Amino acid sequence: MEPMIRVEGVAKKFCRNLRRSMWYGMRDIARNAAGLRTRSGLLRKDEFWALRGIDLEVKRGEVLGVIGPNGSGKSTLLKLLNGIYWPDAGRVSVRGRVGALIEVGAGFHPMLSGRENIYVNGAVLGMSKKEIDARFDDIVAFADIGDFLDMPVKHYSSGMFVRLGFAVAVHCDPDVLLIDEILAVGDMSFRRRCYNRIDEMKKRCAIILVSHNMFQIGRICSTTLFLRQGQTRFIGSSARGILAYYESVSNNANNEDREIRSEGPIRMVEEKHSLDGNRLEIDFIMETDPEHCEIPYGLSLTLLDASDHLFAQTNSLFQQRVFQGPGRVRLTIPGLNLNHGIYRANLMVYDADHSRLFSMYRNLFSFSVSRRFVAGATVYFEDASWESLPNLESKP
Residues written for the chain: 396
Asked if 91 and 185 sit in the same domain, the reply is: yes
Percentage helix, strand, coil for the chain under 3-state DSSP, each rounded to 5: 30, 35, 35
The answer to whether residues 197 and 267 belong to one domain is no
Tell which of 225, 252, 279 closes a domain.
252
Which of the 8 DSSP states describes residue 395? P
* Per-residue pLDDT tens digits for 202-215: 888 999 999 877 76
The predicted structure's pLDDT at residue 297: 92
Q: Are residues 105 and 40 in the same domain?
A: yes
Helices (H) and strands (E) in the chain, counts: 8, 20
Find the CATH number of the domain harbouring 246: 3.40.50.300
Extract the runs of DSSP E, i.e. beta strands, from 62-197: 63-67, 89-94, 98-101, 176-180
For residues 66 and 29, membership in a common domain is answered with: yes
Q: Are residues 265 and 245 in the same domain?
A: no
Collect contacts of 390-393 with beta carbons under 8 A, ≥24 apart: 390/325, 390/326, 390/327, 390/328, 391/327, 392/285, 392/327, 392/328, 393/326
- What is the pLDDT at residue 185? 60
pLDDT of residue 375: 44
Q: How far apart, in whole angstroms, are the C-alpha atoms of residue 193 and residue 2?
A: 30
Smallest CA-to-CA distance from 261 within 251, 275, 276, 274 is with: 251
Range of the domain at 334: 259-369
Residues 281 and 216 in one domain: no
Comparing C-alpha atoms, which of 236, 244, 307 is closest to residue 56?
A: 236
Rounded Cα gap, residues 143 and 122, in angstroms: 14
The reply to whether 107 and 214 lie within a common domain is yes
Evaluate whether 79 touches 85 at the Cβ level (below 8 Å).
yes
**pLDDT under 50: residue ranges of the chain:** 251-258, 373-377, 393-396
**106 within domain boundaries:** yes
CA distance 278 to 373: 11
Please tell me whether residues 227 and 186 are part of one structural domain. yes
Describe the strand order of the beta sheet including 176-180 as a list of residue ranges: 98-101, 176-180, 206-210, 63-67, 223-228, 231-237
Residues 43 and 192 in one domain: yes
Tell me if 4 sits within 8 A of 96, measured CB to CB.
Answer: yes
pLDDT reported for residue 254: 39
Domain count of the chain? 2
Q: How many CB atoms lie within 10 A of CB 376?
A: 8
Count of beta carbons in the 10 Å neighbourhood of residue 327? 18
Indicate if 9 and 83 belong to the same structural domain.
yes
Domain match, 178 and 316 both: no
